């Protein structure tokens, strides 16, 4: 059973996750509480509500033909009902409290639209197990989508209560009505060009207000892997990416450094995600990334100092090789640096070269000024006195 209440603050780290289980894609929203991810909402688009789904899973073949030919009916489902253990692939992104409110607003609008769209569908008054798949789809739709709705306190504290999405009464502050309506309309059907992945990506992009690098094809796996335990995320092995570099306005050299850092942050959890060294490296690189991204007016010397100081403070950690094999032992014996140390070499080189270019440019300017002053002096010497 989900917790009835979760206590947090508006400054807590919220996240949105796109996930894939089998061939099905869905989104999970959550918050970090005492270092553990707590799921606040879990929704995904499915087509069991389509009348051609019939009474058994064998009718999926008929439905597949319908999807290929045109489209099938669909609805946004409460994935939180699934409390089984399951392996998923995923990509998770950091969001703010305000982003979470936008997710609640668009999810509520989708749900209310579908309640109206399917309101004439009849559901027999029999036990749920005796319902056909389409009838069960309508039944679950009318049962509602449950997630954690915030109650704001006078301070920065918030109380998140597990209840139906209909109870969320705030309007969206994102002004693009055309995009919002397109997401709402697209959530009512499934086709070869509008799959469960399509709506999951729509909700992801809308909430983030940028489009991360997520494969659009629903059969393609996502970057990271983890096992849900009773439908919940475990404390270990789950990674949340910060916003990508193009979300920040920084100088070109800072942008090069951020790109290098972000690539390393993205790559780390792909291998050995449960290792303590992976977690520590990820957290340290993410911290440096956020520091540099948060100071758009950094001078080149300040930027270089941040990189070198951070490297020195974490040198022993960054020298740790996560892959333990005969080959990795040979690589270490030959003196090859770890991938993290190589990334720091590249970042340092970029900044130092830019500093040198700046100094060389200043020397050229100084020489031009000296030449100009000398020319003026010679010209004055040639002018006869009156």
pLDDT tens for 70-95 read 678 999 999 999 899 999 999 999 99
Cβ(145)–Cβ(43) below 8 Å: yes
Cα end-to-end distance, the chain, whole Å:
102
Dihedral angle sign, alpha carbons of residues 235, 236, 237, 240: positive
Query: Which pLDDT value is given to residue 237?
Result: 96
Could you tell me the pLDDT band of residue 2, with boundaries at 50, 70 and 90? confident
Average the pLDDT over 285-306 and give the result. Answer: 95
> For the chain, what is the largest distance between any 2 Cα atoms, rounded to a whole number of angstroms?
116
Q: 185 to each of 106, 111, 133, 202, 209, how far by Cα in Å?
A: 12, 11, 22, 11, 19
Query: Which pLDDT value is given to residue 335?
Result: 55
Query: Which pLDDT value is given to residue 218?
Result: 87
Could you tell me the pLDDT band of residue 369, with boundaries at 50, 70 and 90? low
Beta strands per DSSP E along the chain: 5-9, 14-21, 24-33, 36-46, 72-73, 75-78, 86-95, 146-152, 157-164, 189-190, 224-228
Average the pLDDT over 287-304 and give the result. Answer: 95
| pLDDT for residue 370 is more than 70 | no
Query: Which pLDDT value is given to residue 386?
Result: 44
Average the pLDDT over 55-82 and give the result. Answer: 66
- At 254-275, the pLDDT tens digits run 999 999 999 999 999 999 999 9
Query: Which pLDDT value is given to residue 310?
Result: 97
Average model confidence (pLDDT) across the chain: 88
Q: What burial class does residue 147 get, using C-beta atoms within 10 Å of its C-beta: 0-12 exposed, 13-18 middle, 19+ buried?
A: buried
- At 168-215, the pLDDT tens digits run 999 888 878 899 999 999 999 998 889 999 999 999 999 999 999 999
């Amino acid at each position: 059973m989900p917790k009835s209440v979760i206590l947090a603050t508006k400054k807590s780290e919220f996240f949105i996750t796109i996930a894939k289980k089998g061939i099905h894609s869905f989104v999970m929203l959550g918050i970090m509480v005492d270092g553990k991810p707590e799921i606040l909402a879990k929704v995904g688009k499915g087509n069991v509500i389509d009348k051609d789904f019939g009474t058994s899973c064998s009718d999926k073949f008929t439905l597949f033909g319908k999807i290929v030919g045109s489209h099938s009916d669909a609805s946004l489902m409460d994935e939180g009902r699934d409390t089984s253990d399951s392996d998923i692939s995923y990509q998770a992104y950091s969001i703010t409290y305000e982003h979470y409110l936008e997710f609640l607003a668009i999810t509520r609008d989708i749900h209310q639209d579908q309640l109206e769209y399917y309101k004439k569908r009849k559901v027999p008054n029999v036990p749920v197990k005796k319902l056909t798949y389409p009838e069960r789809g309508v039944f679950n739709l009318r049962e509602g989508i449950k997630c954690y709705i915030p109650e704001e306190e006078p301070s920065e504290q918030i109380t998140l209560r597990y209840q139906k999405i209909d109870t969320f009464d705030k309007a969206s502050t994102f002004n693009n009505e055309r995009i919002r309506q397109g997401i709402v309309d697209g959530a009512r059907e499934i086709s070869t060009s509008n799959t469960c992945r399509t709506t999951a990506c729509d909700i992801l992009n809308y909430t983030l207000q940028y489009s991360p690098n997520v494969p659009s094809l629903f059969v393609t796996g996502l970057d990271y892997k983890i096992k849900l335990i009773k439908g919940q995320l475990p404390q270990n092995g789950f990674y949340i990416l910060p916003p990508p570099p193009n979300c920040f306005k920084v100088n070109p050299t800072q942008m090069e450094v951020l790109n290098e850092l972000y690539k390393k942050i993205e790559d780390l959890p792909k291998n050995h995600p449960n290792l303590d060294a992976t977690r520590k490296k990820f957290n340290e690189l993410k911290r440096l990334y956020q520091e540099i991204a948060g100071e758009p007016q950094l001078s080149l010397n300040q930027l270089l100092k941040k990189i070198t100081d951070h490297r020195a403070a974490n040198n022993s950690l960054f020298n740790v090789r996560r892959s333990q094999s005969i080959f990795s032992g040979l690589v270490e014996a030959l003196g090859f640096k770890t991938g993290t140390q190589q990334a720091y070499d590249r970042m340092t080189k970029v900044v130092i070269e830019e500093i040198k270019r700046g100094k060389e440019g200043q020397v050229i300017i100084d020489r031009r000024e000296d030449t100009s002053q000398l020319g003026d002096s010679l010209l004055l010497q040639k002018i006869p006195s009156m």
